[in-house]
Each structure stands twice: as C-alpha cells, then as structure tokens.
A and B are shown apart, each in its own frame.
Chain A
Amino acid sequence: MGVQRVMGVETEYGVAAPGDPTANPMWLSGQVVTAYARAKGLLTGRGAWDYADEAPLRDARGWELGRAWADPSQLTDIDDPTMANVVLTNGARFYVDHAHPEYSGPEVTTPRAVVAWDRAGDLVMQEAARLLNPDPARPTVALYKNNTDGKGASYGTHENYLMRRETPFHDIIRHLTPFFVARQVIAGAGRVGIGQDSRVAGYQLTQRADFFETEVGLETTLKRPILNTRDEPHASADLYRRLHVIIGDANQCDVANLLKVGTTSLVLALIEDRAMPGDLTVLNPVSTLHAISHDPTLRTLITLRDGRKLTALELLWIYHDACAAYLQERSGDPLGGDADTHEVMTLWADVLTRLGTDPMSCARELDWVAKLRLLQAYRDRDGLAWTEPRLAALDIQWSDIRPNKSVFAKLRAAGQVTELVSAAEAQAAVTTPPEDTRAWFRGQCLSRYAANVVSASWDSVIFEVPGQTSLQRIPMLEPLRGTRAQVGEVLERSPDVATLLRELIRSGD
C-alpha cells in the first residue's frame, strides 16, 4: 500500500586498468570478483551459482525467444567456469556480467534499505580495488559507478520490483512509460556529452537516456527499450512477476537513489490497484526521453497523445498527487501511514518544488545537479568550454569508487551531500543481510555454513551434507520467507548443516 515491496538494485561497474588500455575487461572483472572472494573465504567459479531457475529469454508478453535467435550477450544462464560468481554474506550476488563486475544487491522491502545495500556494493568494489592495488600510487584496477564511457558503450544499473502476476503487463507499459520519460529529472546521474558517443558538446541529466532506442522489448544490451519485458521472476511464477527496469542511472546521492526506487514503487502500487489518474500516454516517448535528458533547464514540453503539453515536473506532479490521493484513501494520510512512505512523499514534493523554482537548489540531493554545479564552478573559474577534456575527465572521476580518486567522495567528505544512510550503516550492510526477506536465510547460510554451500541463487541454496551422497537443495520461491523472524532461531540452534536441514524439516519451513 505504501512504498514497501520486495525490490533490489544491480549495478555493472565500469572497470579499467590505469595505464594499460589493452587489458581484457573480462579478465579484469574476474580479478575483481576473485580477489574479494578469496579474501573473504567465499566460493567462486563453476557451480557457485545455481542456474536451474534462470530464464532470461522468457518474455512478459507471453512467449520465449528461441535460443538460436538470441544475441550471445542475452544468454546469461550459461555457467562459464572462467567467470567468477559468488554469493556474499549480505545476500548479494557479486559476479562478472559480460565485461563488468556486477553487484546485485539482496532483496529488501524499503527504499531506505535499497540505498543501504546499494552503498554496500560500492564498499565491496572499493575493498576489491584496495586488495588489487597494494600500492595506491601504482594502481592496476580502477572501478567506476557510472553507466557509459561517453564513446558509445553503456552498461546498466537495473532495478527489480516484485509485482502481482495478475496485473496485466500492458497496464504497466501504459502507465510506467510516461513516468520513466519524466523520472530522470530526479534520478539522472548527469553526463558530460550528448549523443551515445558524445558527438555534441554539453551537459545532460542522464548517463543512459541516449542509449534507449525503442519503447518495449526483451533486449538489454542492444536496441534498449524504455520498458524491458524480461520475465524471470526468481519466485513463484504464477503469483509474481519481477519487473526488470533497465532505464535508470547508478546513483551516488542517497536522496536521488531513495526517490528513484521509492516513487517507482508507489507508481507500481497505483497500477496494481488501478488507481491511476487516467491516460498519460506520451506521443513520442523515445525522442521525448532524449529531449528531456538534454535540457537541464527542465522547460522542455512533453506532448501527450490527448494533446496536452506538460513539462517533466508537471507530469511528475500528476503522479505525485495521484499517489497522495491513493495514500489518503488507504491510510487516511496523503503522506502514507508509515515512516518509509512518509519520507519518500515528503522528499518527493520537496524536490519537485525546488526543481520548479531553481534546479540548482537541489545540489545536495540530486546527482545531476551536484555534478553540474561542480562543473559549472570549474567552467566559471577557468573559463572552460564544454569541449574541454578536463570536464569529461571530472565526469568520469566523479564515479571512481576509490576514495583517493573519487570527486563525489570529496564532495561528500566536505559535507555538501545529504546522507540518508550513514557510513556505519552502509558498512554494516556489507556483511549483514536484510532481515525481512529470504536474503536473510541466503546470507546467513554463507556466514555460517560456507564450506557446505555448493551453490546458491536468488531462489535456492544447495548444500553438501557430510555423510550424504546426494546434494540437498532448499528452494526459496517465496521472497518473504526465510526472514530472521522465521528462521533466525533455527539457524541459531544449528551448529552444522545436517542439524539445520533436520530442523527446517521439523519446523515445516
């Protein structure tokens, strides 16, 4: 009813070998994951991930793409032994996806928790880089939380939202597409350069917008669609779908990150409960998406199919007010009946209001504004045109995850960014799983019985039990089972995996 739902964020980090542009990025990514896993005593490589339930070619519109027709990059369920793949004690997956190290955060239920476990991913990458760079003056690996190299390549930050299966997919497409066209004025991470290969000098709101070329589709690596139809729920398929959102940027500002997932979760609730305020279909969503991203003044108009012309802010106010009316009706409070929803609704209105009067007043909260303000200060001080390479360099280093190289980290250290999650909370999320989803069981199994975990996935853990010849697979098709409240005590009283399995059978979990 509020912002709560099972959700999570996955990020492919940029990876480079400073001074060696010929380094193989797959090998580099493998080094990143393996170095971290070894240091933490975690299992990597063949078999560590259980692919039994993966179906990356299943389409939410009701068909499955033939494997022969698929681009090799779409075949994400093939277990390549050279590709490191590990489950962390916080319930996340840390692995090599194509040519990037990827951190897929654990399933959580609140936007605040998304931010905490996303920040934990940055710390995992930071630690991996530290392990690989014993001499920071001569680094061998650098990692970046961005989504493009500015030369035509893009890599993703995906959001995942568990939804009721009964919600028709065409309703999701219809009501979410206009929202995604407008959402970037809050959630964009900012970018120097316009066009996939930055052929036009200038600044735009997002890293990703220029890489989106169609409205709806299954692809994620080419002809990217505003609405991705991958139907791979990692849960009971007759009860749930996992909405796989590929259009967002990687955020470093907590407020932007919180609002990105919090407002999206609320809009999904409107769609599920049929509380949308009529039809907001955008006439040309792809070209409008680009135009909105290219306009930091936020004045560009979006033309709706019914003839209305609205700015992105005006369109977002319609969604905001529909959410407020929905919450008023359900909980008696337009801000929602719980602290998490209240926080999202309050920040949402605050940011929309200030973006409407002076976008630069959101420099503490939104990535694209914080980055633009810094770039503008540089331009003013040194009289730089947008073609100046120092500005493009600053954009790249903005996202460097190494504290001694990160421009964003300098800004945060100077107290110029609003933090919702403390450094200590982010650090705790590196090793601790969220308590209120199955990620608790998964992460705890890795903390307590790592030697006996043969493999794991979002919806299973497979154990090798001493004295037994066959492997034991624990299915976890219900994302809200396996919480601390449900299995905490069983785990506490199971010193070994044989006891755990006996206890689970006895307790019926």
Chain B
Amino acid sequence: MASQEQSRPQRREGDPDAPPPEVPVGGAQTQVSNADIDSVLDEIDEVLEVNAEEFVRSFVQKGGQ
C-alpha cells in the first residue's frame, strides 16, 4: 500500500489574493523528455492560428451551465 510518507509535498501558506507562484519546470523525473516535446512544437506551430491575438479576441462564448 502506498504510504503518505513517500510524497509529502512542500507546503505554502494559503492566500487566495497572493500572486500566483511561478510554475514548476520539469525536473529530471519528467517521463517525456524535452527532446520529444521540441519535435511536437514544430508540428503545433503549423496548426496554430496565424493571427493569435485576433483569434483569441474573437473566441467569445455564451455562458452555459
């Protein structure tokens, strides 16, 4: 049975109004290597909308449930 001991994360006092912490960057244990992701980046470049700013601005939805 997995014990709690193996995964005590670092802790941070909660403050909902505090600025968001900087996001973690993948460490040595990242299962998918950075070489893999670099090859995908080129493919994704090809599908991304050319005018990102206009695309984001025009993506407006009506609220739902």
Asked if A495 CB lies within 8 Å of chain B CBs, one says: no
A21 touches B4 (CB 8 A): no
B1-41 CB mask vs A (1 if < 8 Å, else 0) is 11010111111111110111111111111111010111111
- Provide the residues of chain B in CB contact with A12, threshold 8 Å: 64-65
A363 touches B31 (CB 8 A): yes
B23 touches A374 (CB 8 A): no
A321 touches B4 (CB 8 A): yes
Asked if A82 CB lies within 8 Å of chain B CBs, one says: no
A398-415 CB mask vs B (1 if < 8 Å, else 0) is 000000111100110010
Q: Choose the segment among A152-160, A272-280, A453-461, A471-479 that binds chain B (4+ C-beta atoms closer than 8 Å).
A: A152-160
- Provide the residues of chain A in CB contact with B38, threshold 8 Å: 377, 381
Q: Which of A149, A313, A363, A373 has a CB less than 8 Å from the CB of B59?
A: A149
Asked if A376 CB lies within 8 Å of chain B CBs, one says: yes
B60 touches A302 (CB 8 A): no
A363 touches B32 (CB 8 A): yes
The verdict on A16 contacting B59 (CB below 8 Å), with A295-B12, A352-B2, A363-B31 known, is yes
Asked if A167 CB lies within 8 Å of chain B CBs, one says: no
B21, chain A: closest CB distance, angstroms: 5
Question: What is the chain A residue whose CB lies nearest that of B1?
Answer: A334
A377-421 CB mask vs B (1 if < 8 Å, else 0) is 110010000000110111011000000111100110010100000
B30, chain A: closest CB distance, angstroms: 5
A178, chain B: closest CB distance, angstroms: 14
The verdict on A364 contacting B61 (CB below 8 Å), with A288-B16, A357-B7, A414-B43 known, is no
Count of A-B residue pairs with CB < 8 Å: 219
- In the bound complex, what is the Cα–Cα distance between A296 and B24 (angstroms)? 7
B32, chain A: closest CB distance, angstroms: 5
A41, chain B: closest CB distance, angstroms: 28
Of the candidates B16, B32, B56, B64, the one having the most CB atoms from chain A within 10 angstroms of its own CB is: B64
Q: Which of B22, B29, B40, B61 has a CB less than 8 Å from the CB of A357?
A: B29
B55 touches A410 (CB 8 A): no
B55 touches A98 (CB 8 A): no
Asked if A99 CB lies within 8 Å of chain B CBs, one says: yes
A154 touches B20 (CB 8 A): no
Asked if A95 CB lies within 8 Å of chain B CBs, one says: no
Asked if A140 CB lies within 8 Å of chain B CBs, one says: no
Q: Which of A290-319 contact B (CB under 8 A)?
A: 290-291, 294-303, 309, 311, 313-314, 317
Q: Which of B10, B12, B20, B28 has a CB less than 8 Å from the CB of A203?
A: B20
Q: Known pairs A297-B10, A358-B30. 15 more at Cβ < 8 A? A: A98-B62, A99-B63, A149-B59, A150-B59, A155-B61, A287-B16, A291-B18, A296-B23, A297-B24, A300-B12, A321-B4, A334-B1, A358-B27, A364-B31, A396-B56
- Chain A interface residues toward B at CB < 8 A: 12, 14-16, 21, 25, 73, 97-100, 148-156, 158, 194, 200, 202-204, 220-222, 246, 287-288, 290-291, 294-303, 309, 311, 313-314, 317, 320-321, 324, 334, 349-350, 352-361, 363-364, 372-374, 376-378, 381, 389-390, 392-394, 396-397, 404-407, 410-411, 414, 416
11 A-B contacts (beta carbon < 8 Å) = A148-B61, A149-B61, A200-B19, A321-B4, A353-B2, A354-B29, A356-B6, A389-B53, A390-B52, A416-B36, A416-B37
